Amino acid sequence: MAVFKIVLYGDEVLREKARPVAKITPNIHKLLDNLRDTMYHARGVGLAAPQIGVSKRVIVVDTGEGLIELINPEIVEARGEETDTEGCLSLPNVVGEVTRAAEVRVKGLDRHGNPVEHHARGFLARALQHEIDHLDGILFIDRAVRIRRVKPGA
């Protein structure tokens, strides 16, 4: 298990547009494994490569329905609108009310380079949008209508 330190708000890598993955290599497999291990260790539901200091378009998400690994993900369709509370491992003890699409269709590659597509609603749709935003240097606080601090562990 490889658990990495999560990059915190203020680090420049969180504001960069991450580079696309041109070729799936053993290093990309290792990056996916590291993201997964770090996300689970931190008890998160998603993590993007920039959050461990790697400027590549790679994310992992698990909202309780199983692990999703995506390389070069992109939202190809979005419908509806929902506002809900979000937090982020890179901004501990901060939450905000964020409006996002209620339903999305996301395309990308799996760890073997095969094209995959996910249709998601609700919490999974929100998590995918949140992590894909990280790949474009966008944080949830940029989209939040209200931001507040919460007590650690709350």
| Residue 112 is assigned to a ligand binding site | no
| Residue 88 is assigned to a ligand binding site | yes
| Residue 130 is assigned to a ligand binding site | yes
Residue 97 among the catalytic residues: no
DSSP state of 90: T
Q: What burial letters (b/e) apply to 38-54, b meaning 16+ CB within 10 Å?
A: bbbeeebbbbbbbbbeb
DSSP state of 114: -
What is the C-alpha to C-alpha distance for residues 60 and 140, in angstroms, rounded to an integer? 17
DSSP per-residue string spanning 26-47: HHHHHHHHHHHHHHHHTT-SEE
Instruction: Enumerate the β-bridge partners of residue 70.
Output: 59
Q: Which residues are annotated as a binding site for Fe cation?
A: 88, 130, 134
Q: Which residues are annotated as a binding site?
A: 88, 130, 134
Question: What residues are labeled active site?
Answer: 131
